[in-house]
Structure 1
Amino acid sequence: MSHNPLRSVLKVGSNTMVSRLLGFVRDVILARLFGAGEMADAFFVAFRVPNLFRRLFGEGAFSQSFVPVLGEYRTTRSPEETRAFVEDVAGWLALTLAVVTVVGMLAATAIVYAIAPGFAGNPAKFALTVELLRITFPYLFFISLVALAGGILNTYGRFTVPAFTPVFLNLSIIAAALWWAPHLAQPAVAVAWGVFAGGVLQILFQLPALKRVGHLRWPRLRRRDPGVLKVLRLMGPAAFGASVAQINLFLNTILASLVGANVVSYLYYSDRLVEFPLGVFGVALGTVVLPMLSRQAAEQSPQFRHTLDWALRLTWLIGLPATIGLLLLGGPLLISLFRYGAYTAQDARESYLSLLGYGLGILPIIAARVLAPAFYARQNTRTPVKFGMISVATNMVLSLILAWPLQQLGLALATSFAALVNAVLLGRRLYRDESYRPMPGWALFLAKSSGLAVLMGLLLYYFRGADSLWLALSMGERFLRLGVLILLAALLYLAGAWLLGVQEIRELLHRRLPHAG
């Protein structure tokens, strides 16, 4: 692993940013193609199902349970035993995924009835959703194997390839939308096949990197490897704990299909904007922190607390201005990115309501992605799953209360509040167990960073302008104005933090981390 964790975070974040920017290009094209109508609703629901199962079987849950055990094998076992362990895990994971994928495709009609009951009143929309789900469901198989490969590479300190891999999904969807979809009566079918192809391309891209670290081996099925049993025991609770946010979105999808027309699409477009800071920074930080904490927990190192404190300060330092910026520039962002073709000005206004609700969840979601690995690193998956259940119950109750009077805004607010509950419970337990204590200087750090974030917000509010101004601009003028505003806000925040002596900013700009050895 890299001796400079901050550099690893920046490396993962920069590669993830490439994928997220391509994701915006993809969504601009989909907005032109689908707008926020029936076809958009059908595709977004169909794509959300394999994404949920991806979190259950792949990325989050698998990494949280597999990486600590793999790290233990690297430390205490021979290279050959470690390779055998990986082969066994790959075999059982692939078999499970194959069964789930086949069952999911066969049960597509029942799944759509379960997750989007509101679609049943529109037979054409319902049938299209079922067809798209059958095409996209195998994506679960491929992307979960991608998560296995990514977990191996991250454990060996090879962060670049896993972080860049999602680029191929976006490229595949973009290609299908631009060159195949216009020739079909149902353009969404082409985009669904783009998702399928993207899954295949992602696993193929990781194979050479796996070979370089000595783990490009055929999967096998043995029942005696204790490491596999440990992964399975950890993965059960971790699957729920790591996918709390996705389960909340899943519940929102059910209600969104019931409370109003196109609400599924409004939630999707706003969620895409919120996922940018969550993906670029939150995922990068969580990806790098888990192997660090796993190693420090195995060594019983006092650096464990320092690493957790450093990650939480970075969460606040970047998450707060990201939240303020997204809430203030949400309208211009939605107009600049999506207000073309079938996506109307009214769609942008409606999407902004859900963006307000989702935006408030940025900080707690990133914080939970930092705090949960502190439990997983010590192979404790039960505590996060218990708090995850409380979070899901909170989201469900609030969603039922707020969905009908506030529609997409109410659903988004429920998700953000549930994320806050999850983060607070995780942090309180770590503090109670003396696994974490804030390092000196937090009060001054909070005062400086919060004051600068407020100043940045005032700058954006003053120069933002009304939505009517943005609607009158051309695409080029919109992006130029948006880029200037974001650049000015970032310069004000960074320069102010530098002048006020916010040490974390200086560490960030110099790519160094004094506390992590």
Structure 2
Amino acid sequence: MSGTATDPAAETTAAGMKAAGPCTPDAQVRSGRFLARAAGGAAGLTVVAALLGLVRDQAVARLFGASHASDAFLIAWTVPEMAATLLIEDGMALLLVPAFSLALTQRTAGGHATDPVRALVTGTLPRLFASLACAGGLLVWGAPWAVGILAPGLDDPRLAVDCTRLTAVTVLTFGVTGYFSAALRAHGRFLAPAGVYIAYNVGIIGTTLALHSVWGVRAAAAGVAVGSLLMILTLLPTFLRLMPGRSGKRVARERGPALFGATVLAPVVLFVVSRQSQVLVERFLASSLPDGAISHLNYAQKVAQLPMVLSMMICTVTFPVVARAMAAGDREGARRRVERDLALAGTVVLLGAATVLGCAPGIVEVLFQRGAFDAADTAATAGVMRVYALGLLGHTLVGALCRPFFSAGRPTWYPLGAMCCGLLVTTAAGLLLAGPFGVDGIAAANALGISAAAVLMLMGLGSRAVAVRPGAVALSLARPAAAAAVAAASGALATGLVPGPLPGLAAGCLLVPTAFLLTGLALRAPEAVHLLALIRQRFPHGR
């Protein structure tokens, strides 16, 4: 899991092609092929991890249903959810990928007494480890207060407190995982970081199945801790191989670079926290609804957001390219790359959203309706999934747009301002809609808030970071959005007409992409035309 299909040096070179200035057409083709292979490989591992995540959720649903026990676990699950976003995906990556990219560029230029990559690691990793260890210990001690803030409506918070203390270890383990992942991605290694969630879910599933009869739902929380340790072990061998060896002479310890200074760290951390706070608002509002409300929101969100996770693989792979282009002053290259990424990621997530909208009841019934998870839970979860799907494009655009904002490595507060506006919309809409519409109203508030933040970030990117054209981006997404609407209606029709949950789901999942592609071609959506061209190249003349 730690290697790639190409030579590491070639990977690093390919990842930097677009940032190195003007490229020959042949070099651009090689770079494009490398990025496509890297995104495809990472997406493949992400699919495996997502499937294991579904098995994990199925295990929790089967053993604990939608009950007080599952709600307690999901309140504790807020800790690894927040930690994953802050320390593995967004926060750590936004800080460290540009920093490691710059260190690699300085290593290539030469003239440094100490290897720049090693200086970066020795100057930041020990301090980060100590800070996160203290933060995790503080969370263990303050778990009762944390649960009281997250879910004040719980009648008996003791089980949630126990689970929170077990999941608190992820504050440290996810931080180390995120550090290793950022370093590997900057080096052009994408498979190992994409594979960490496979190890994570294996740890959760194994521990839950082994210990649930003894510990109850606490076994799932312990599994989170075990899985997070497996994540580090997955990355450690590759990280150690990429780090340069010690020189013969003793070198004084470097000071931590400015990336961990308050002026650089604060905008990134606060942006990520504000983005993840949508989940906190949801669970805060749902804690006052009947038992099972938090569980319905969780199961729906986990499944509905799978298309977003896959679409973000495109931006994850190209983020080092954008960072190096910005560092080299290639603004036009960065603009083209970002606009292309937004169109590709948006098309992928719209296809996924169409599948969720068209097939939600069948998806939930096939995945979860067994054991303690009954037909009423299926109906409630499917309804929430469909509402969540309306905000998937907004979630993807926010995830894609934040990267160019932070790719230059200088402080910018605009993304935080946009997310705070979106969070205000989420909170206000949730307070208005949760009473009359329950969990559906909370999910609608999420979609409204994240969509508002996406629009604000798109409008502000051109004047603050990369000169993207909002009108061109909107036009590139309008036709796939229309194709998604037709595909969703086709999927709903197929699942309703074909008897049986599994045959109906299979028919819907076949018809949705077919209708999406055909409608996209009829509307001449560029990404649909490009996809058809790729199919023709792969299977020429019916071969």
Q: Could you tell me the TM-score, scaled by structure 2's length?
A: 0.84
Matching residue of 1:295: 324
Q: Is the 8 Å Cα contact of residues 271 and 419 (structure 2) preserved in structure 1? A: yes
Assess, with a 3 A threshold, how the Cα gap between structure 1 residues 279 and 229 changes in structure 2: closer, same or farther: closer
Matching residue of 1:90: 125
Matching residue of 2:508: 485
Q: Is the 8 Å Cα contact of residues 60 and 243 (structure 1) preserved in structure 2? A: no
Counterpart selection for 1:107 from 142, 157, 168: 142
How far, CA to CA, are the matches of 2:510 and 2:245 in structure 1? Answer: 43
- Read off the aligned partner of 1:493 and give its amino acid letter: F
Is 1:32 the counterpart of 2:62 in the alignment?
yes
Is 1:199 the counterpart of 2:228 in the alignment?
yes
Is 1:188 the counterpart of 2:217 in the alignment?
yes
Q: CA deviation at 1:444?
A: 7.4
Q: Is the 8 Å Cα contact of residues 62 and 148 (structure 1) preserved in structure 2? A: yes
**Structure with larger RCO (C-alpha < 8 A, sep 6+):** 1
Matching residue of 1:80: 115
How far, CA to CA, are the matches of 1:411 and 1:230 in structure 2? Answer: 36
Q: CA deviation at 1:223?
A: 8.4
Q: Is the 8 Å Cα contact of residues 387 and 447 (structure 2) preserved in structure 1? A: yes
Assess, with a 3 A threshold, how the Cα gap between structure 1 residues 291 and 507 changes in structure 2: closer, same or farther: farther
Q: Is the 8 Å Cα contact of residues 83 and 170 (structure 2) preserved in structure 1? A: no
Deviations 1:73-109 (CA, angstroms, capped at 9, x unpaired): 2213557122121122111111111001101001111
Q: Is the 8 Å Cα contact of residues 430 and 441 (structure 2) preserved in structure 1? A: yes
Assess, with a 3 A threshold, how the Cα gap between structure 1 residues 434 and 48 changes in structure 2: closer, same or farther: closer
Deviations 1:11-65 (CA, angstroms, capped at 9, x unpaired): 2222111100111111111111111011110111111123214433443111111
Deviations 1:355-380 (CA, angstroms, capped at 9, x unpaired): 23311110011011111111100224
Q: Is the 8 Å Cα contact of residues 354 and 408 (structure 1) preserved in structure 2? A: yes
How far, CA to CA, are the matches of 1:372 and 1:226 in structure 2? Answer: 24
The worse-fitting range, judged by mean Cα deviation, of 54-63 and 304-313 is 54-63
How far, CA to CA, are the matches of 1:447 and 1:116 in structure 2? Answer: 39
What does 1:7-406 align with in structure 2 at a 5 Å threshold?
7-77=37-107, 78=112, 80-119=115-154, 121=155, 123=156, 126-181=157-212, 183-184=213-214, 186-214=215-243, 225=255, 227-230=257-260, 233-282=263-312, 284-301=313-330, 302-379=332-409, 380-406=411-437
Identity of aligned residues (%): 25
Q: What stretches of structure 1 of length at least 5 have no aligned partner?
A: 513-517
How far, CA to CA, are the matches of 2:486 and 2:445 in structure 1? Answer: 28
How far, CA to CA, are the matches of 2:365 and 2:374 in structure 1? Answer: 9
Q: Is the 8 Å Cα contact of residues 304 and 388 (structure 2) preserved in structure 1? A: yes
The worse-fitting range, judged by mean Cα deviation, of 326-335 and 448-457 is 448-457
Counterpart selection for 2:443 from 405, 412, 431: 412
Could you say what secondary structure the match of 1:395 adopts? helix
Q: CA deviation at 1:272?
A: 0.8
How far, CA to CA, are the matches of 1:291 and 1:156 in structure 2? Answer: 9
Q: CA deviation at 1:509?
A: 7.0
Assess, with a 3 A threshold, how the Cα gap between structure 1 residues 252 and 447 changes in structure 2: closer, same or farther: closer
The worse-fitting range, judged by mean Cα deviation, of 17-26 and 379-388 is 379-388
Q: CA deviation at 1:300?
A: 1.2
Matching residue of 1:515: none
CA RMSD of aligned residues (A): 2.6
- Read off the aligned partner of 1:151 and give its amino acid letter: A
How far, CA to CA, are the matches of 2:259 and 2:475 in structure 1? Answer: 47
Q: Is the 8 Å Cα contact of residues 89 and 228 (structure 1) preserved in structure 2? A: no
Could you say what secondary structure the match of 1:117 adopts? coil
Paired residues, what number?
Answer: 493
Matching residue of 1:457: 488
